[in-house]
């Protein structure tokens, strides 16, 4: 009986050995060729992105390869404890870990943790996809023993530390140390090293910026393993867990990433292709002004923080944070000087400035007014009646727009109507000029988004991006000369050889005199109308602007320009939720976006000399009674200044 | 017995990783026979391809810049600019092209005194040329790519023939571009005087160029449009340096008309000026102002 059992076991062992040999022989040709040197990882050059003053503001790809002796020993210990405590004792495959994984796999199924050694993980990162399969596991194991045979343990560990992904676009420990702690890999302290070493396990789920408690939990696990492995004393764990973690979002911009850099890279990909941008190591020179960009990021973050503090607490389940964005375009050139697509890039890299199409509300009215001024026999002094209107859409449908205040003021000039954002007058204008004409005007102003030719365009019911809105405002500030807003100036090869020059020149699309009348009307918005918050905040320079609030307080806009800078600010929720203050009032363009616009424009124009919008020859300046349209060449009590084309 | 052997082998493997070592060595002995695939190699291939693509594009841009350095007028320069892109030239080259224009067209672009101010007193480092319809635009940039000034190059300025010709040593016969279209210089001069002025302006708007040529004008050659988009007229003269050819770009229309006239008359001479005055060339209208 015993002999029979022994024979059966022997037979099983022989079968297992033969099967393993066959599997090895069959799989061996499928293993990828190994490189001569693992430092080949660093052979892909980084693409660098520069601001217009030459400051490096972004970097894509490439690896900051550091030698093992330039990595903190704490990190090495933490990695060994976390990933492979018998690293120095196996030859690519840790038998015990494999047996343990097999056992757990039988008990727990596919959810069981793997038993991959550091060498196997290196093989996986070097050659294979992250799809889990037995066939892949065999190839991985064979590649691991080949790596062990070819390279020293130090070379393997060094390559692993430089290759592994820590989240936040940080490949390699040097980039990770910069991203999370703004220090070099050799400067990492014990508690920081433990936190970093835990991240490769699940970089997104353990992201310290978004999920710090989870990352701290993992940090404790690593410290416990380090204690078990003898790298630290068990009693050190609690004190290390109390060490403050200075998780920073003030890492140098090239390591941090930004909305502006993302948008720049997208534009560069359109010109020279994705692979050239990702692997070519090109130098991209942007239009971004580093100073303005920093101001933009700061005023949006603080402005949205402040606004959020005053908002009604969202119902349970609505966890999205209030967001905001800003785009600033140089009027003279169309260059985007600052672009911020959200309150915090590290928390949410979704670029609202270029991707998100939001309803502009009344911020779209300048387009309606321009179409009307261009195509109807009217002027800023023309009188319209603010009253409930019923406009016929077709045989079966009508449209009855209402004012924001739900009050109607009777007769008024167009200038007054635009200053106070009167909906019924904007509706009458689009009804007269026709929605198709408005769409055509929007196209000439630089809108590429799909626009439905509906009457509700008068109230900004179709979504457009912040960049498109900035292009509209800049074209108006340029008195009808269109320049496509852009982020790229030129692209150079790694050796400085020129690849592309991407400057744009202006194209005269509107009559300057007509547009100047609009500028004058919009100047009144800031001086007398819905945008007076800009003056109350302390901005005294020359500027025009327009508030915008989409239906039910879902979007808050302020758009406007000085003679040198067109700036657009948006505030809202990504899930299109309504914005109400704690006192029940809805957030409007004036109370939401306008203060941020004012903060930005006050700071960036502080050292600028005073400038005026150049007045075209055919324009005369006069005064008008805002409710009956009576014109007086001299200043009269109750009259407002107006620029008209006779 | 066999089981005991397995146990011993198992213990040896557990302690020494013998099997992994053997497999590892065997795999490395056949390393070069295996294919270079997987993430690492794919990345290296992409890096290589990207580098090749960028080298090609950079070479093209450098070539364009070299060609831009050789052009004689704005028209030739604009013909070089790829659609939707820009071409960079030095301030000195821009000023050279500007000076080659007739006075009226210079003033359309910018007053000489203003250009002088940018040339000498600003941080103007380069000019970017872009096409716009039949004309173009020039952006004067500083060292940080700030646009100092945007200038319009009108279609008229773009079409104007440059006063600066391209000089080549040797005769027309040495330049294959003129092959089959070489004619006597004196016949060409005679031809200029017999055609109506309006016609002459269309073919050769700036006859003062001829005043600047060293006499005698031996031969005249015509070269069809090349990659630059321009046809050329070449004037062969003889001086202390032997035979030289000075070439000027001409419009396609001028090339066609001249070629047609020459073909009508024969391959080596222009038509008889006296006969031509009485009997216009086919396709050429008789003009009452003709001498």
Tens of pLDDT, residue by residue over A535-572, are: 999 999 999 999 999 988 999 999 999 999 999 999 99
**pLDDT tens-digit series, residues A383-422:** 999 999 888 877 888 888 888 888 899 999 999 999 999 9
**pLDDT tens-digit series, residues B7-58:** 888 888 888 888 899 999 999 999 999 888 888 888 888 989 999 999 998 8
Q: How many residues in total does chain B contain?
A: 291
**B87 and chain A in contact, CB less than 8 A:** yes
In chain A, what's the furthest Cα-to-Cα distance?
123
**Over residues B138-164, mean pLDDT:** 80
pLDDT of residue B265: 54
User: How far apart are the C-alpha atoms of A366 and A470, rounded to whole Å?
Assistant: 12
**Residues in B touching A272 (Cβ below 8 Å):** 53-54, 57
CA A10 to chain centre: 63
Contact B31/A41, CB-based, under 8 Å?
no
User: Over chain A, what is the mean pLDDT?
Assistant: 90
CB A319 within 8 A of CB A329: no
For A66-80, A203-217, A249-263, A473-487, which range has the lowest pLDDT when averaged over its residues?
A249-263
**Residues in A touching B3 (Cβ below 8 Å):** 6, 9-10, 13
Question: Strand, helix or coil at A494?
Answer: coil
**Over residues A125-152, mean pLDDT:** 87
| Residue A599, pLDDT above cutoff 70 | yes
Helix (H) or strand (E) holding A328: strand A322-330
CB crowding A18-43: b at 16 or more within 10 Å, else e: eeeeeebeeebeebbbbbeebeebbb
Q: How many residues in total does chain A contain?
A: 646
**A148 and chain B in contact, CB less than 8 A:** yes
User: How far apart are the C-alpha atoms of A231 and A190, rounded to whole Å?
Assistant: 10
pLDDT of residue A538: 95
Task: Give contacts of B 119-138 with A, CB under 8 A.
Answer: 128, 130, 132, 137
CB A535 within 8 A of CB A526: yes
CB A476 within 8 A of CB A366: yes
**Over residues A166-192, mean pLDDT:** 90
Contact A275/B61, CB-based, under 8 Å?
no
Task: Give contacts of B 252-271 with A, CB under 8 A.
Answer: none
- Dihedral pair phi/psi, residue A345, rounded to 5°: -60, -35
Residue A639 burial (CB count, 10 A)? 16
pLDDT of residue A422: 94
| Residue B179, pLDDT above cutoff 90 | no
**B63 and chain A in contact, CB less than 8 A:** no
User: How far apart are the C-alpha atoms of A216 and A210, rounded to whole Å?
Assistant: 12
pLDDT tier at A468, thresholds 50, 70, 90: very high
SS (H, E, C) A182-221: CCCHHHCCHHHHHHHHHHHHCCCCCCCCCCHHHHHHHHHH
Among A92, A280, A290, the strongest candidate for a mutation testing the B interface, having the largest count of B CBs within 10 A, is A280
Write the DSSP symbol of residue A167.
Answer: S
**Residues in A touching B56 (Cβ below 8 Å):** none
pLDDT tier at B285, thresholds 50, 70, 90: very low
Contact B51/A280, CB-based, under 8 Å?
yes
**B58 and chain A in contact, CB less than 8 A:** yes
**Residues in A touching B50 (Cβ below 8 Å):** 275-276, 278-281
With vertex at residue B94, the alpha carbon angle to CA B88 and CA B98, rounded to the nearest 5 degrees, is: 145
For B47, the closest of A28, A44, A129 (CB atoms) is A44
User: How far apart are the C-alpha atoms of A223 and A234, rounded to whole Å?
Assistant: 8
pLDDT of residue B291: 27
Task: Give contacts of A 503-542 with B, CB under 8 A.
Answer: 503, 505-506
Among A505, A506, A509, the strongest candidate for a mutation testing the B interface, having the largest count of B CBs within 10 A, is A505
Question: Which candidate, A221, A80, A46, places its Cα nearest to that of A158?
Answer: A80
For A126, the closest of B38, B57, B147 (CB atoms) is B38
**Over residues B243-270, mean pLDDT:** 69
For A275, the closest of B39, B40, B49 (CB atoms) is B49
**Over residues A106-125, mean pLDDT:** 80
Distance (Å) from the alpha carbon of A528 to chain B's nearest alpha carbon: 35
User: How far apart are the C-alpha atoms of A188 and A180, rounded to whole Å?
Assistant: 11
**Residues in B touching A493 (Cβ below 8 Å):** 54-55, 57-58
Signed CA dihedral, B69, B71, B72, B77: sign only:
negative
Write the DSSP symbol of residue A575.
Answer: T
Strand bridging mode B182-184 / A631-632: unpaired
For A287-296, A357-366, B219-228, which range has the lowest pLDDT when averaged over its residues?
B219-228
| Residue B287, pLDDT above cutoff 50 | no
Q: Where are the domains of chain A?
A: 1-30, 295-644
**B52 and chain A in contact, CB less than 8 A:** no
Among B21, B46, B57, B87, the strongest candidate for a mutation testing the A interface, having the largest count of A CBs within 10 A, is B57
Among B7, B58, B84, the strongest candidate for a mutation testing the A interface, having the largest count of A CBs within 10 A, is B58
Task: Give contacts of B 155-174 with A, CB under 8 A.
Answer: none
User: How far apart are the C-alpha atoms of A258 and A349, rounded to whole Å?
Assistant: 8
**Residues in B touching A33 (Cβ below 8 Å):** 31-32, 34-37, 41
Contact B62/A497, CB-based, under 8 Å?
yes
Task: Give contacts of A 269-288 with B, CB under 8 A.
Answer: 272-273, 275-276, 278-282, 285
pLDDT of residue A504: 80
In total, the C-beta contacts within 8 angstroms joining chain A to chain B are: 164
User: How far apart are the C-alpha atoms of A532 and A525, rounded to whole Å?
Assistant: 7
Distance (Å) from the alpha carbon of B225 to chain A's nearest alpha carbon: 27
CB A354 within 8 A of CB A471: no
Contact A148/B20, CB-based, under 8 Å?
yes
User: How far apart are the C-alpha atoms of B76 and B61, rounded to whole Å?
Assistant: 16
**pLDDT tens-digit series, residues A234-273:** 999 999 999 888 887 555 556 667 999 999 999 999 999 9
pLDDT of residue B41: 87
Higher pLDDT, B215 or B283: B215
For B24, the closest of A9, A91, A503 (CB atoms) is A91
**pLDDT tens-digit series, residues A583-592:** 889 999 999 9
pLDDT of residue A470: 98
The residues pairing with B220 across neighbouring beta strands, listed in sequence order, are B183, B235
HSE (CB half, 13 Å, CA atoms) of A342? 22
Higher pLDDT, A282 or A137: A282
pLDDT of residue B290: 27
User: How far apart are the C-alpha atoms of A238 and A240, rounded to whole Å?
Assistant: 5
- What is the CATH number that goes with domain A295-644? 3.40.710.10
For A10, the closest of B2, B27, B36 (CB atoms) is B2
For A387-396, A458-467, B197-206, B258-267, which range has the lowest pLDDT when averaged over its residues?
B258-267
Among B14, B47, B129, B140, the strongest candidate for a mutation testing the A interface, having the largest count of A CBs within 10 A, is B47
| Residue A112, pLDDT above cutoff 60 | no
CB crowding A425-464: b at 16 or more within 10 Å, else e: bbbbbbbebebebbbbbbebbbbeeebeeebbbbbbbbbb
Contact A489/B34, CB-based, under 8 Å?
no
For A86-90, A136-140, A220-224, A442-446, which range has the lowest pLDDT when averaged over its residues?
A136-140
Distance (Å) from the alpha carbon of B141 to chain A's nearest alpha carbon: 10
pLDDT of residue B119: 87
């Amino acid at each position: 009986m015993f002999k029979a059992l022994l024979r059966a076991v022997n037979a099983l062992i022989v079968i297992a050995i033969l099967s393993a040999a066959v599997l090895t022989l069959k799989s061996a040709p499928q293993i990828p060729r190994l490189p001569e040197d693992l430092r080949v990882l660093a052979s892909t050059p980084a693409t660098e992105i520069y601001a217009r003053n030459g400051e490096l503001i972004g970097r894509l790809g490439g690896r900051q390869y550091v030698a093992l002796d330039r990595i903190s020993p704490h990190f090495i210990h933490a990695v060994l404890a976390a990933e492979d405590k018998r690293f120095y004792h196996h030859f690519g495959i840790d038998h015990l870990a494999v047996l343990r994984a097999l056992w757990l796999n039988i008990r727990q199924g596919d959810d069981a943790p793997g038993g991959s050694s550091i060498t196997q993980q290196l093989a996986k990162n070097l050659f294979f996809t992250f799809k889990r399969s037995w066939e892949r596991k065999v190839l991985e194991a064979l590649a691991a023993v080949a790596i062990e045979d070819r390279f020293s343990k130090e070379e393997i560990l060094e390559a692993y530390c430089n290759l592994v992904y820590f989240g936040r676009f940080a490949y390699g420990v040097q980039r990770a140390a910069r991203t999370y702690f703004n220090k070099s890999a050799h400067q990492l302290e014990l508690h920081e090293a433990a936190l970093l070493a835990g991240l490769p396990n699940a970089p997104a789920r353990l992201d310290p910026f978004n999920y710090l408690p989870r990352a701290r939990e993992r940090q404790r696990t690593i410290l416990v393993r380090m204690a078990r492995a003898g790298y630290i004393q068990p009693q050190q764990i609690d004190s290390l867990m109390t060490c403050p973690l200075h998780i920073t979002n003030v890492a140098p911009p090239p390591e941090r990433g930004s909305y502006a850099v993302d948008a720049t890279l997208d534009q560069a990909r359109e010109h020279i292709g994705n692979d050239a941008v990702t692997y070519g190591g090109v130098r991209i020179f942007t239009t971004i002004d580093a100073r303005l960009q920093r101001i933009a990021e700061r005023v949006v973050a603080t402005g949205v923080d402040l606004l959020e503090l005053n908002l009604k607490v969202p119902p349970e389940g609505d966890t999205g944070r209030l967001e905001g964005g800003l785009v600033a375009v140089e009027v003279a050139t169309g260059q985007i000087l600052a672009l911020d697509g959200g309150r915090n890039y590290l928390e949410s890299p979704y670029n609202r400035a270029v991707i998100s199409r939001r309803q502009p509300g009344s911020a779209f009215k300048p387009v309606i007014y321009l179409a009307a001024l261009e195509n109807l026999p009217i002027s800023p002094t023309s009188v319209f009646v603010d009253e409930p209107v019923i406009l016929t859409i077709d045989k079966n449908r009508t449209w009855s727009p209402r004012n924001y205040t739900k009050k109607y003021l009777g007769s008024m000039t167009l200038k007054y109507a635009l200053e106070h954002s009167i909906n019924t007058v904007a509706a009458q204008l689009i009804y007269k000029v026709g929605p198709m004409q408005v769409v055509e005007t929007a196209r000439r102003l630089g809108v590429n988004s799909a626009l439905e030719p509906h009457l509700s365009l008068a109230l900004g019911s179709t979504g457009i991006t912040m960049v498109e809105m900035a292009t509209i405002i800049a074209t108006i500030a340029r008195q009808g000369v269109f320049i496509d807003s852009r982020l790229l100036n030129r692209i150079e090869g790694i050796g400085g050889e020129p690849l592309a020059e991407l400057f744009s020149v202006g194209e005269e699309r509107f009559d300057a005199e007509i547009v100047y009348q609009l500028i004058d009307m919009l100047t009144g918005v800031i001086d007398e109308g819905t945008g007076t918050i800009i003056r109350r905040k302390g901005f005294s320079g020359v500027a025009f602007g327009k508030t915008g609030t989409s239906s039910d307080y879902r979007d808050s806009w302020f758009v406007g320009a000085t003679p040198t800078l067109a700036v657009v600010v948006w505030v809202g929720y990504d899930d299109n939720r309504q914005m109400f203050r704690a006192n029940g009032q809805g957030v409007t363009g004036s109370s939401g976006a306008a203060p941020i616009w004012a903060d930005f424009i006050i700071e960036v124009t502080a050292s600028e000399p005073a400038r005026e919008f150049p007045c075209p020859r055919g324009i005369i300046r006069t005064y008008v009674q805002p409710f009956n349209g009576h014109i007086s060449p001299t200043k009269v009590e109750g009259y407002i200044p107006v620029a008209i084309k006779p | 017995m066999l089981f005991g052997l397995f146990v011993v082998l198992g213990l040896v493997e557990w302690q020494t990783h013998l099997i992994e070592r053997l497999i590892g060595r065997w795999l490395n002995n056949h390393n070069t026979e295996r294919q270079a695939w997987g993430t690492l190699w794919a990345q290296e291939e992409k890096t290589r391809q990207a580098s090749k693509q960028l080298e090609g594009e950079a070479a093209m841009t450098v070539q364009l810049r070299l060609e831009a350095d050789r052009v004689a007028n704005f028209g030739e320069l604009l013909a070089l600019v790829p659609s939707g892109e820009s071409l960079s030239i030095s301030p000195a080259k821009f000023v050279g092209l500007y000076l080659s224009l007739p006075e009226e067209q210079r003033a359309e672009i910018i007053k000489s005194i203003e250009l002088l101010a940018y040339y000498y007193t600003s941080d103007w480092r380069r000019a970017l040329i872009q096409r716009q319809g039949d004309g173009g635009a020039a952006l004067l940039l500083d060292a940080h790519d700030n646009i100092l000034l945007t200038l319009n190059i009108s279609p008229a300025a773009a079409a104007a023939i440059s006063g600066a010709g391209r000089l080549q040593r040797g005769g027309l016969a040495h330049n294959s571009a003129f092959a089959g279209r070489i004619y006597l210089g004196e016949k060409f001069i005679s031809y200029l005087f017999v055609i109506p002025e309006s016609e002459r302006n269309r073919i050769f708007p700036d006859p003062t160029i001829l005043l600047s040529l060293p006499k005698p004008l031996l031969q005249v050659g015509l070269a069809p449009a090349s990659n630059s988009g321009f046809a050329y007229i070449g004037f062969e003269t003889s001086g202390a340096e032997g035979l030289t050819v000075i070439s000027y770009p001409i419009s396609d229309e001028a090339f066609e008309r001249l070629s047609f006239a020459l073909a009508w008359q024969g391959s080596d001479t222009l038509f008889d000026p006296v006969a031509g005055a009485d009997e216009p060339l086919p396709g050429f209208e008789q003009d009452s102002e003709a001498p």
